[in-house]
Amino acid sequence: MRIHRVLAGVLTAMLPCFAPAQQDTLKEIERYRQLLQESNPAELYQARGEELWKSRRGPKNASLERCDLGLGPGVVKGAYVRLPRYFADTDRVQDAESRLVTCMVALQGFTLEEAKRNPFSGTGVPMITSDPFSGVGQRSVMTDLVAWIASESRGMAIAAPMSHPKERLAYQAGERLFYYRAGPYDFGCVTCHGEEGKRIRLQNLPRMTNPKDAQRAFGTWPGYRVSEGELRSMQWRMWECVRQMRFPELEFASDASIALITYLAKKAEGGTFDAPAIKR
Amino acid sequence: MADPMRIRANMTGDKVEVKVLMSHDMETGLRKDAQGKIIPAHFIRNVTVTHAGKTVLAAQWGTSVSRNPFLHFRFRGGRPGEKVAITWLDNKGENRTDEAVIAGG
């Protein structure tokens, strides 16, 4: 009798295994993602970023609340997924970071150098770069701000505009850069991101010409890198890829970096933005 | 001043499920900076969680805990609307306490 009851218990416990396996796996992965998201330290950066957006800083003692990220002064909701885009006041295509530089200069009175200093936070990365990027445990205002701005577009569709000629020009330049091979290893973005099924160690590399891969890649930056204990932005992603290709250093917020991001944004068009994400 | 913690406290059945995200460098004291100098150790030593005047969790941590630690635990005896207070104390004597109200499940 007792054995029967135990058996019945075991059988009941096993029942879920007989349910359609595929669906269960997907559900479990979804649950795992949610668990990871709940423990994502990117939230700490977002909270700081929101504070920084509202706090008065710089020689003009002003906040960034009048900053125009493309949807009008002060509109942050949905701004990130519609970047990079053309801005008439600067007459150039800008991404989130370069636009923040513009706002820090125009609204808060920082010099261009001050606004661009320390674009990436903390430790880990800047093994080879000189001071502006380095400093162990150093926080980056830029990274915090971008984390918050990106988080305000979570769940929305990636939709960088392509109507202005300069936006199309940036896309074309980005495409050229993507396929451009050079340096001591004759490397280019396309070496790693132009073919299906490539990986570095165990990290699968997205093929950027495949919309699904591009959407997933673009939609998960900025991301918190567990291995580095830092939040990393899209500008950093470009900078780091270029460094790994042994190219000359990609200047932060430069036209080249924005062109690459514009190209990727277009390739990822229509994907769901799900950042700041958490990465290995 | 350290950044605030992010705390979620929810009823799950008869238990309170608490998830805490702390902002801390958690330096091991083994790493070197760009100049080759050792970065001094800086890590959380003690974590204490109190509820209704009682300690429900006390932990001693060391350098093996990750940067920006995430702590997840459950305890009995809490009710929605009550408060949970979490305190950490690090090796430099810095500390931070944050509170959260338990939400219904």
pLDDT in tens, B18-77: 999 999 989 999 988 777 888 899 999 999 999 999 999 999 999 999 888 999 999 999
Q: Tell whether A226 is within 8 A of chain B (Cβ).
A: yes
Q: Report pTM.
A: 0.82
Q: Exposed, middle or buried, A106 (CB in 10 Å: 0-12/13-18/19+)?
A: middle
Is residue A192 flagged as an active site residue?
no
Inter-chain touch A136–B6, beta carbons under 8 Å: no
List, edge to edge, every strand of the sheet that includes B15-21: B6-12, B15-21, B70-76
Q: How close is the nearest chain A Cα to the Cα of B30, in Å?
A: 13
- Euclidean distance between CA atoms A37 and A243, whole angstroms: 29
Closest-CA residue of B relative to A137 is: B25
Provide CB contacts within 8 A for A27, sequence distance 6+. Answer: none
* Cα dihedral across residues A46, A47, A53, A59: positive or negative: negative
pLDDT in tens, chain A (280 residues): 455 554 444 444 444 444 566 678 778 877 877 777 888 889 988 998 999 999 998 899 999 999 999 999 999 999 999 999 999 999 999 999 999 999 999 999 988 888 887 777 654 343 333 333 333 556 788 888 999 999 999 999 999 999 999 999 999 999 999 999 998 999 999 999 999 888 888 778 899 999 999 999 999 999 988 877 788 899 999 998 998 899 998 988 999 999 999 999 999 999 999 989 988 7
Phi, psi of A6 (to 5 degrees): -60, -45
- The one-letter code for the residue type at A20 is P
Structure ipTM: 0.79
Q: Tell whether B92 is within 8 A of chain A (Cβ).
A: no
Q: How close is the nearest chain A Cα to the Cα of B86, in Å?
A: 16
Q: Tell whether B27 is within 8 A of chain A (Cβ).
A: yes
Architecture in CATH for domain B6-101: Sandwich (2.60)
Query: In chain B, where are the structural domains located?
Result: 6-101
Inter-chain touch B4–A47, beta carbons under 8 Å: yes
The CATH superfamily of A41-279 is: Cytochrome c-like domain (1.10.760.10)
Inter-chain touch A41–B25, beta carbons under 8 Å: no
Taking CB atoms and an 8 Å cutoff, what residues of chain A touch B21? Answer: 39-41, 43-44
- Euclidean distance between CA atoms B30 and B41, whole angstroms: 7
Q: With contact defined as beta carbons under 8 Å apart, do A231 and A222 qualify?
A: yes
Closest C-alpha among B64, B89, B71, B53 to residue A38: B71
* Cα separation of the two ends of chain B: 33
